[in-house]
Amino acid sequence: MKNNISHSEAAEIFNKDVERVNWHDETLWFVREKRDRSAHQIPEWELLRETASQIKLNVLSNIHDYLVEFEANAQKNGIIVHWAANAEEHNVIVHSILEKHNVKQMVKSKSMLTEECHLNDYLTERGIDVIDSDLGERIVQLRKEPPSHIVLPAIHLKKEDVSETFYEHLGTEKGNIDPQYLTESARHHLRDIFLTRKAALTGVNFAVAETGEFVVCTNEGNADMGAHLADVHIACMGFEKLIPQRKHLGVFLRLLARSATGQPITTFSSHFKKPREGKEIHIVIVDNGRSVQLGREDFRNSLKCIRCGACMNTCPVYRRSGGHSYHNAVAGPIGSILAPNLDMKKNADLPFASTLCGSCTNVCPVKIDIHDQLYKWRQVLVQEGYTPKVKTIAMKTMATVLANPMVFDIAGKTGRFAMKNLSGLVNNKLNKWYDQREMPEVPEESFREWYKKNGKATKRKNDE
């Protein structure tokens, strides 16, 4: 994953291909519109969001007990439960389960948590062949890229790109860009994988404390094909995936797919409660910074996220900068809140990758105050000294100028003079403000000068 350049630098590169950016923008907006149509068909949509938000609030305020309850019930069901404090421990646990069963090949369904933990790299380095089975994930995996979107991993690619990738790796016809043909080829390729793997790994959408079961949602059925054909099923979850009771699934399953893709529900919403006879199910419960975020009152609500991706599809910055520019497993607005919690230094740029327009907050199915949290992160990051030096100096200079009327006056005069007579000094690449916009025409006098001349006269006139 590219993590040595900032969001704005990466976005600048993405923006060079204007046609592709426009296409990316429109494609995601199309998904956003499908979400709207779907939500508008539910008269009680707002009540549903509010209810979901309150359930999650209850979870966060009682998560200790729910986790204990969940573990006990899952164990009663015959599921083996593991706890991982961080990404490294998560990877070690998964690897040890595979080693115990002498498994060298594993099939995986989509799990953003394993992306967050860089599990694939970890296992590959230890000689384990990992195949992602979600079609979009498989495409980006073959291209050695990370997913660019949590729900639509290959949304940044055109069918020509997929065709080229499949030609190279799966031996499909060169130049055949028919999605039906390409999907059929992937179907055959992946069926062979499903039928030969002894271990399958899936993510978890929801885990139920009351019953010890967990739910995995897919449209392709890839999680199920993997899990039901393998001897060992490993399910990895961040601890915030917990919900109190089975009946609460009704609320979240109504919201998830409608918010994600505009579908009334995903094709398969599978409830795993007990392993098949003679087979194993393992659950790995992962912290990896979540308990820290739980303690940050301003950012705690980000743990309500159900990973629908609605905030990305609607975000004007995400749509025009692409998921990879966020250099984090979860991109877009919600990712920009979660990422600084994981690593403030590395991800200090992300909360600034937003217009704070609030569209993300408006579509969030669990009512996370996303744009407020982005604004709050900016303040924390500046205070902690993680923002670029240039910006800090500029802000400090501005504060001095604004606090001192005489300096402000001189600065204004100098500025107007320079813009008028020495335009090259202002209209150049060094001026970040000029970079993406035309500079305004300079007025003859400042408001202050105008007011000195006319203000008092106008005031007298009004008083009469």
Partner 1 sequence: MSSKEAILQKIKQNQPKEVNELPNLEPLKETNLDVLDQYKTVLKSIGGDFVEVSNYVEIIDFVRQNFDTNKRILTTLTELSEVANLDWSDDDPHSLEDAELILVKAHFGVAENSALWVTDDLMGQRVSTFIPQYLAIAVNKNDIVAKMHHAYDRIGNQEYGFGTFIAGPSKTADIEQSLVLGAHGARGLTVFLMD
Q: Does 19 bind partner 1 (CB under 8 A)?
A: no
Would you say 108 and 131 are in contact if contact means Cβ atoms under 8 Å apart?
yes
- Per CB under 8 A, the segment of 6-14, 47-55, 327-335, 390-398 that binds partner 1 is 47-55
Task: Out of 133, 341, 359, 361, point to the residue binding partner 1 (CB under 8 A).
Answer: 133
Would you say 21 and 302 are in contact if contact means Cβ atoms under 8 Å apart?
no
Q: Does 4 bind partner 1 (CB under 8 A)?
A: no
Q: Does 234 bind partner 1 (CB under 8 A)?
A: no
Q: Does 105 bind partner 1 (CB under 8 A)?
A: no
Q: Read off the amino acid at residue 11.
A: A
Residues within window 61-80 making contact with partner 1, judged by CB under 8 A: 61-64, 67-68
- Per CB under 8 A, the segment of 7-15, 43-51, 327-335, 377-385 that binds partner 1 is 43-51
- Per CB under 8 A, the segment of 224-232, 314-322, 325-333, 345-353 that binds partner 1 is 224-232
CB closer to partner 1, 184 vs 445: 184
Residues within window 178-197 making contact with partner 1, judged by CB under 8 A: 179-180, 182-184, 186-187, 190-191, 194-195
CB of 178 to partner 1, least distance (A): 9
Would you say 385 and 367 are in contact if contact means Cβ atoms under 8 Å apart?
no
What span, in angstroms and rounded, lies between the C-alpha atoms of 396 and 319?
32
Could you please report the per-residue DSSP string of 6-26? Answer: -HHHHHHHHTTSHHHHHHHHH
Name residue, tokens 């068909």: 41
φ, ψ at 233 (rounded to 5°) = -115, 120
CB of 341 to partner 1, least distance (A): 12
Q: Does 320 bind partner 1 (CB under 8 A)?
A: no
Task: Out of 9, 33, 44, 129, point to the residue binding partner 1 (CB under 8 A).
Answer: 44
Query: Which of 302, 303, 310, 301 has its CA nearest to residue 364?
Result: 310
Residues within window 372-431 making contact with partner 1, judged by CB under 8 A: none
What span, in angstroms and rounded, lies between the C-alpha atoms of 177 and 163?
5
CB closer to partner 1, 255 vs 353: 255
Residues 6+ apart with CB under 8 A from 150: 112, 307, 309, 312, 330, 331, 335
What span, in angstroms and rounded, lies between the C-alpha atoms of 353 and 333?
8
CB of 58 to partner 1, least distance (A): 5
Q: Does 263 bind partner 1 (CB under 8 A)?
A: yes
Would you say 348 and 389 are in contact if contact means Cβ atoms under 8 Å apart?
no
